[in-house]
Each structure stands twice: as C-alpha cells, then as structure tokens.
Structure 1
Amino acid sequence: MSGWEELASTALVGTDRRPYQGDLLEVAAVEVARRRAGRRVAEVTGREPVPEEERQAVGRPAGERLGRMLAGEHERLIPEWLAAAAATGRRVPPYVLPDLLEHGRRDRSIRVHLGVLAGHRGRWLAGLNPAWGFLLEEPTGETWELGGPADRLAHLRALRAADPAEARRLLESTWEREGPDDRAEFVQVLKDGLGMEDESFLEQALDDRRREVRQAAANLLTRLPDSRLAQRMAERLRACVTVKGDIIAIEAPPACDKAMERDGVRAKPPRGAGERAWWLQQIIARAPLSVWGLPPARLLAMKIPDWDDEVKAAWVRAAVLQKNPEWARAMFGWDPIADLLDSLPPAEQQELAAGFVRKHDLDSQLIMVLGGVSSHWREGLATAVLHKIVKVATTQPWNLGELVKLAGEHIDPALFPLAESYSPVESIQQVAALLRFRADMYKELSR
C-alpha cells in the first residue's frame, strides 16, 4: 500500500481501529502539498493568439476607477460606468478584465455592454474559462447576417431607431426561420417607433406558438387604439360597463373564451384573485381608454358600486400598457407607483416625484417612486430629496441609507456643489461625495 493509500484508509476507518504512528493530519497535509508540487504542468497547444484590438482602451484613471469599483468602492455605480464607457466607443483595459468578467458571472444586469467593452481579449478569456462563457452570447458589433442572437438583436434595435419600417421588413423576412426565444426578444423591439404600419405583423404574431411572443404582441397592439385587437377589447368593455350620471355600473365577464385568450387575456388568475375580477381587469387594461368618454379625473370622482378597486387598479394597468400621459398623471394621484412615471417625459416625472417627496414620509413607497424616475435628477427634485434627508436626519437617521444612495446615484453629478453647500449634515455630505465621485468618473471617461 502506498503512503497516500495508507493515509486515506486510516482516515476512513479511524485511528482507534487502525493505529497510526505520528500526526495523521500533519502527514496528510505534507503529502497533499508534495503531490500538488509534483504535478506536471499541462501543455498548451493549438491556442490562437489574442486578435489585435480595434478599439482604444479608456484612459488609465478611468480603468483604475473601474478596478476600485469592482473591488467594492461604490459597486452599485458599475452599470453607469459601463454604459458611459460604451457610449465613448472604447473598451476596458486588459488588467481589469478578470475582475469584470467575474463580476458579470454573478450579476447579469451588467452584461449588456460587456460584449463590446471586453474587446477581443475578453472573448479570448471567455473561451478559456467556462464560467465566463456568458460573454460569448453578448453583442459584439457583428451584422444581422453574421452575428449571434445578441448581435442580431442589437442590430435590429439600431435599425428600428433609424428606420422603423425597414427594421420590421427585415424581421418579417426571417421570422419563420427564427427560434422561439429569438422571436420573443425580436418582437419587443417594435415598441420603439410603434405605429399602425406594424399592426398587421403583430396581429399575425397573436397566433405564435410561443406564449411570450403572443403576450408581447398583444401588449404592443394595446398601445394602438385603432388596432383590431383594441377594437375587439372595446366591444368587450362596452358589454361590461354602463355609465349613467355619476355611477359606473360594472358586470364582470362570465367566461374567458379562446378569442379573449388570443387577445392576451389570461384565463387563470393569480393566487388570491377571482376569475371574473381577473378577466374584467385585463379587458379594461387592454381596451382604449378613450372608450370611457370622460377624463380620468372625472371618472375617479364617480361611484362604482361593484368592483371599485378592481376597476381602478385596471385603469392603472391601462395607463401603463397604453403609455397614456393624461391617465398616468391622474392615476399617479390615486396610486403613486413608479410604473406610471414611465409614461411621462423625464421633466414631468421629476416634477411629480418632487411633489410626492415633499408630501410623503420616508418609506418603501417613496423609495420605489424615486427608483422609477429617470436619471439625471435636476435641481427641483434634487432639492426636494436633499431637504427630506436633512429633515429625516434629525428624527430617524438610521432610516436614511437607501435614500442617501439613491440621491447620490441619480442626481445630476454636475450638481455636487449644490449638495456640498446645502447642509453640513453628514448624510448630505455623503451624497455630495458620491456626486463628486460620479462627476470625476464622467470627466475621466471623456478624456
């Protein structure tokens, strides 16, 4: 029996049954080190060298800042750094690639720009380490014909932004050959520049084999009030609703037929919801809001004897699905959720959020509303948030952590002098320090 086999056998049965002269664990540790030191180095053959990079790397100060962020300094700003770097058309320097790819392995949210930012060396490294293989699925800048799924999606998005009709024609030309996962991704691209010219293609997509494709197509057709789907939903709504004086009478649908399911109504309700209430809410959400014939503020003041909460929750969903600014404003007053802000231009988002911050105590809802406001926050919202921080710092300083982080991450970094001079309160100075960090970050990336 060899030395290692003897050690292993003794460890398995125990030294009480098989006495061992000397310290078993110490000898085993020495043997492990000896065996590792004696292992032959694997020979590397046939490996292609790293192709020459086409993109210039960001400057050393910018790369070093990214390295510190990957090590834990303001780690939540990594996606912002990556987006800003991608906008410059440059790549990350080689010395941060291992840490960046390892971070991308754990955090899917940062992968969107990595295919380009990592350059040829990043993809070369990903080919050596299966844990980093995700990078090989990210866009690299290849064309529609030659690229992988991520490249083709990026190409379609860019074409849609430049020429919506041509993007749709390109998608139609290859639609039957696309895999189900790709179709589900591609149909979402049509939300940018959406118009009635897309209606025929989306109507056909309602018959797709993949549920995600059908649902995405129904959501887009809901945003087109003149679409055939919207008109079918309008007819269903009229069968459910009667408006007389100041009363809205509701009769929820008795069943969900196949035609309703084709138009995006899901038959099975979520746990805790009744079937009829669930079908009613989906019909209201997908029917054109103009069918109600009255402004939302007037409707909200009316009495709904039955299904009141369900109808108003459906109005919220309709405002979100149909991207209707008037309804989004009105429903935000009834139920201030972040999704409603997405239907409004950034300046109005900030104005509504600032008013909400002034009137509302610091709680999870306030944090969620602020999380839905587009960056970068300008002076009005910034001042409202800074004032809230100062106020809460005197009563509940332990409750400020997330609000301070949000302020530092979303206020326009050019406003760091405003924060520095606003108050000597420690939490305000933390916001100012984070804003300065971001201002320096953008300055480095611009060089």
Structure 2
Amino acid sequence: MSTPVPWEELVSTALVGTDRRPLPGPAGRAAGSADPAAELLEQAAVRTVRARAGRLPRRGEPLEPAPAEERPLVPRAAADRLARILAGEQGRLLPEWLAAAAGRGHRVPSRLLPELLDHAARDRSIRPFLGVLAGRRGRWLAALNPAWGFLEQEATGAPRVPAAGPEGEVWELGTAGDRRAHLAALRSADPAAARELLAATWEQETPDDRAAFLEVLADGLSGGDEPFLEAALDDRRREVRHQAADLLTRLPDSRLARRMAERAERCFTVTRRRIEVTPPDECDAVMERDGIRARPPHGTGDRGWWLQQLVARTPLEVWPRLLGRPPAELVGARLGDWTREVTAGWVRAAVLQRDPVWARELFARDPLADLLAVLPRDEREAVAAAFVRGGGPAGRRSRGLDGQLIMVLGGAQGPWGPDLTRAVLGKILELAGSQPWNLGELVRLAGERADPALHGLAERLSLEPPIQEVAALLRFRDDMLKELS
C-alpha cells in the first residue's frame, strides 16, 4: 500500500500548475501520464476520502441535554413561511422576517436552526437577530459546531438584570451582544451614566468591543462626551481612533473641530471674490491623531486626499463664515484644481455631521444615496419621489433606468409611503414598454421597500406583469408580517 502524498504537496503543485511542477509521489516519477492535471485531482480526491474515513473512533461522552426554552415559538404559519424562504422562495426577505420575529421576542423551531445558523455563518448582517431567535437550543447547538460560534457573541435579548453595583451583572457577565444592548439601553436613559460605565472598564475591553461601544455613544452625543472621546484618539486600534474622531466631528465646539477649523483657514483664502485652495503639504502625527489617514487610496494624490479628509472633519458652520457665501453658492463654486476633493469632503461632512441643509444643497448637485439618508423622513421621500418622476436635482430629466436611480432609492429607507410608491410604480409602467429587460432590480426594490399594506394600490394600478409582480411581493410581505403578529 503506497504512502499517501501529503496534502500540502498536492496544494503546492495545484497552485504552480502541473505543466511547471511534476506530480508528487510515484505517479509523478512514472513516465507517460496522459493527463497530469486529472491525476492530481484524483490524488486529491483519494487523500480527502482517506482523511474523512480513516479517523480512529474515539470514546464518546454523552452530551448534556439542551436547556429548556423560555421564549414562545413563532406561530406555525410563520415557521412554515420561514422554511419556504430558507428554501429559496423570496430569499431576499429573510432579514425582514428575522427582524420582525426577533422584535416580537419569538424563537424559531429547532428543526430550522441548523440551516438558519449556516445562513448566518455566511451573512453577518442577520446574526444579531439569531441571538434572540435561536433560543437556548440554538446556543447549545452553537457550542457543538465551531462554525456557529459567532452566536455566543450576540445579544440574547434577555430581561435586564438590575444593577447590583456600578457595573451590573449584565455588564460584567453578559455576552458581547448583551453588553452592547445593556450599554445602549443605559445610554438612552442616562447618557452620562453610560459613558461613565464604559470609562470604568475601557482599558480591559478588547479592541473590537471598544470600537463597537463607541458606536453606541452616537446616541445622545453631547459636549460632556468630549474628554472621553479625545482620550480615545490615542487608542492603539485604528478603528477606535477613527470612530472617536467621527463622533468628535459631530461636536462643532470640540477641540478636534477647532483644530480642523484652524487647518481649513490655512488652506482656504478669498481674494477678489475668488476662493483659493492650497492643500496641506504633509500629514503630520497630529493630523493623523485627528483622524486623517496619511496613505491615500490607489490612484489618489496625497495632498488631495489629505484635503478631502480635512474638509470632511471641519464643522460645516465654518465655511459660510470663512468663505463668505451660503451653502447653496458654495456647493456650486469653482475651486480650481481641487473642486472634486473639496466637494467630496463636504459630502462626507454632511453625512458625518447629519446636516440636512448641506445635504439638501449637495443632493441637488449630485444625487447620492448617503445624502438622501440625512434628510428628515418626509422630505427624504418627497425628494426621492421627485427624482424618480424626473423633475429631480438641478432640473434634470429622467432618461430611463440607470444605476443612479437604483442607488438613490436604496437610500430611501422603507417602508415607503404612498407618494414614493406611486412614483416608483409609475416609473416601472413607463419603462415596461421600452426597457422591460432592465426592470428586475427596480421591481424587487419596490416590492421590498414599499409599505406592504399598499399591495392593493399596486394590484389596482395596472395589469402589466411587472406591476403585478410588485403587488404579489407586497402581499407576500403583508401576509408574512401578519403571521408573526
């Protein structure tokens, strides 16, 4: 019986290619191999079978039984629909089903747990829902399979344990997800107490947890958070430093904001009604500490990259005072060779600082989904509906369906109200005759984002197949949510 070829040798030969390296083992030394590549694959198959079948049996130990469940099962009809979704029927609705079920405090049937956990192993976005939906049986299963180990870090949605001291039991002993949820709940009720709780254990937290906890501080952000965030600019982890800088950027009176404003004054001057732009010559250690990354992306110049970030972290209220013009004029101003970089910086600043005035003016020049998301909900839908109908930004007329329209609608969070829904359905009808091959994504987006209670509106609008497809998807979602109720 020949000695099996080590797996590493097979992999190395496959990476280099059998035309450049002979087959390992006796087959490689033998002359006349008709197809070395096929022989290599055959050896790999044999090696795999041996690895799977050749393990010696081990002495088994009985497993501890799964603990009793505390949460109610989802209704049977809802569980049956989840099984259909997992099997491929309207698979894009899985996150919505999970979010709705988790929000109601349900758990899923045990028979669906393995498949659901396999989905979550590939898709991180649905993992937080499984902390609730998997129940105690799901955590018992996850402990038996390393691929499902992520579940141990998700919030269980367990009732809050009353704090026995400054930290409380959940903060001391809970999973990473439970601790985030605990901090978020405390932040909502008492922002200062949440910050003090985090500061007390900050040095003992892992880098990943520090970055995640800083995101929680975005809720209820105030000047009282500045000393803690300023200290976080010296953290060893880059993600922590940049998260802290992002939050300080939202505080126009912070020391970081003042440092950025001083840099802006050195880079921008107004002479004879012209705006002169002089980007930084270097990115020093102090600039890096304030969240400016020294190394630009591929294809971007150093100075333009530093300028763009400097503009993004400067308080937006600085620019009308410094340049003597309102936002409506500034977003259309010519800034020499640096117009693109400055405009990109203003876009990032409007998103970071959540400024609807600047977002409105910038969207009118360049409709971007991130800017649309900054606007108040009612205005967001009205602006999106106008854009879809073709009377959109800067008087532009719609020229059909393109990627920009899809991206803008992606920034309009659901559920869409009647006005935006009618606009999108009208666009689908308009394009059904001229671009029927190109409607798939728009139809799916309408069916997934519109308020599902509006399925009747779509059903009555037209018998055109794309409209009826939207109506069917809306009815599917409407039934889905009713089942979970």
TM-score, normalized by the shorter chain, greater than 0.5:
yes
> What are the within-5 Å matches in structure 2 for residues 111-190 of structure 1?
111-141=127-157, 143-190=170-217
- The residue that corresponds to 2:110 in the other structure is 94
Is the contact made by 2:143 and 2:149 (CA closer than 8 Å) also made in structure 1?
Answer: yes
Please point out which of 263, 266, 283 is paired with 1:239.
266
Please point out which of 59, 71, 78 is paired with 2:75.
59
Q: Distance in 1 between matches of 2:260 and 2:299?
A: 25
The answer to whether the aligner puts 1:346 opposite 2:362 as a matched pair is no
Q: Distance in 2 between matches of 1:97 and 1:303?
A: 58
The answer to whether the aligner puts 1:203 opposite 2:230 as a matched pair is yes
The alpha-carbon distance between structure 1 residues 136 and 302, as it changes in their structure 2 partners (threshold 3 A), is closer
Is the contact made by 2:71 and 2:106 (CA closer than 8 Å) also made in structure 1?
Answer: yes
- Cα deviation for residue 130 of structure 1 reads 2.5
Is the contact made by 1:247 and 1:302 (CA closer than 8 Å) also made in structure 2?
Answer: no
Question: Counterpart of 2:477 in 1: which secondary structure?
Answer: helix
The alpha-carbon distance between structure 1 residues 12 and 279, as it changes in their structure 2 partners (threshold 3 A), is closer
- Cα deviation for residue 13 of structure 1 reads 12
Is the contact made by 1:246 and 1:302 (CA closer than 8 Å) also made in structure 2?
Answer: no
Is the contact made by 1:249 and 1:306 (CA closer than 8 Å) also made in structure 2?
Answer: no
Question: Counterpart of 1:73 in 2: which secondary structure?
Answer: coil
Please point out which of 465, 468, 472 is paired with 1:426.
465
Structure 1 counterpart of 2:103, which letter?
A: A
Q: Distance in 1 between matches of 2:282 and 2:58?
A: 67
Structure 2 counterpart of 1:81, which letter?
A: W
> What are the within-5 Å matches in structure 2 for residues 22-421 of structure 1?
44-141=60-157, 143-244=170-271, 246-293=273-320, 294-359=325-390, 360=398, 361-421=400-460
Show CA shifts across 1:272-319 (max 9, x none): 111111111111111111111232112134332331222112111111
Is the contact made by 2:448 and 2:473 (CA closer than 8 Å) also made in structure 1?
Answer: yes
Is the contact made by 1:206 and 1:217 (CA closer than 8 Å) also made in structure 2?
Answer: yes
The alpha-carbon distance between structure 1 residues 106 and 301, as it changes in their structure 2 partners (threshold 3 A), is closer
Is the contact made by 1:351 and 1:380 (CA closer than 8 Å) also made in structure 2?
Answer: yes
Is the contact made by 1:222 and 1:229 (CA closer than 8 Å) also made in structure 2?
Answer: yes
Question: Counterpart of 1:306 in 2: which secondary structure?
Answer: helix
Question: Counterpart of 1:125 in 2: which secondary structure?
Answer: helix
Is the contact made by 2:332 and 2:365 (CA closer than 8 Å) also made in structure 1?
Answer: no
Question: Counterpart of 1:332 in 2: which secondary structure?
Answer: helix
Give percent identity, aligned residues only.
Answer: 62
Show CA shifts across 1:16-49 (max 9, x none): 9xxxxxxxxxxxxxxx9xx98xx99977534111
Question: Counterpart of 2:367 in 1: which secondary structure?
Answer: coil
Q: Distance in 2 between matches of 1:220 and 1:40?
A: 56
The more displaced of 190-199 and 344-353 is 344-353
Q: Distance in 1 between matches of 2:466 and 2:348?
A: 37
TM-score (ref. length: structure 2): 0.82
- Cα deviation for residue 362 of structure 1 reads 1.0
Q: Distance in 2 between matches of 1:249 and 1:306?
A: 10
- The residue that corresponds to 1:26 in the other structure is none
- Cα deviation for residue 61 of structure 1 reads 0.3
Structure 2 unaligned residues grouped into runs of 5+: 2-26, 33-48, 159-169, 391-397
- Cα deviation for residue 395 of structure 1 reads 0.5
The alpha-carbon distance between structure 1 residues 126 and 301, as it changes in their structure 2 partners (threshold 3 A), is closer
Q: Distance in 2 between matches of 1:134 and 1:199?
A: 33
Is the contact made by 1:67 and 1:96 (CA closer than 8 Å) also made in structure 2?
Answer: yes
Is the contact made by 2:171 and 2:179 (CA closer than 8 Å) also made in structure 1?
Answer: yes
The alpha-carbon distance between structure 1 residues 52 and 284, as it changes in their structure 2 partners (threshold 3 A), is same
Question: Counterpart of 2:304 in 1: which secondary structure?
Answer: helix
Q: Distance in 2 between matches of 1:114 and 1:301?
A: 47
Structure 2 counterpart of 1:221, which letter?
A: L
Q: Distance in 2 between matches of 1:295 and 1:161?
A: 35
How many pairs were matched up?
424
- The residue that corresponds to 1:439 in the other structure is 478
Q: Distance in 1 between matches of 2:105 and 2:63?
A: 29
CA RMSD of aligned residues (A): 2.7
The alpha-carbon distance between structure 1 residues 247 and 300, as it changes in their structure 2 partners (threshold 3 A), is farther
Q: Distance in 2 between matches of 1:137 and 1:302?
A: 49
Q: Distance in 1 between matches of 2:462 and 2:138?
A: 45
Show CA shifts across 1:234-267 (max 9, x none): 0110111123454221111112111111111111
- Cα deviation for residue 426 of structure 1 reads 0.1
- Cα deviation for residue 199 of structure 1 reads 0.8
Question: Counterpart of 1:128 in 2: which secondary structure?
Answer: coil
- Cα deviation for residue 167 of structure 1 reads 1.1
Question: Counterpart of 1:95 in 2: which secondary structure?
Answer: helix
- Cα deviation for residue 136 of structure 1 reads 2.0
- Cα deviation for residue 405 of structure 1 reads 0.5
Q: Distance in 1 between matches of 2:409 and 2:235?
A: 37
Structure 2 counterpart of 1:172, which letter?
A: A
Q: Distance in 2 between matches of 1:410 and 1:385?
A: 11
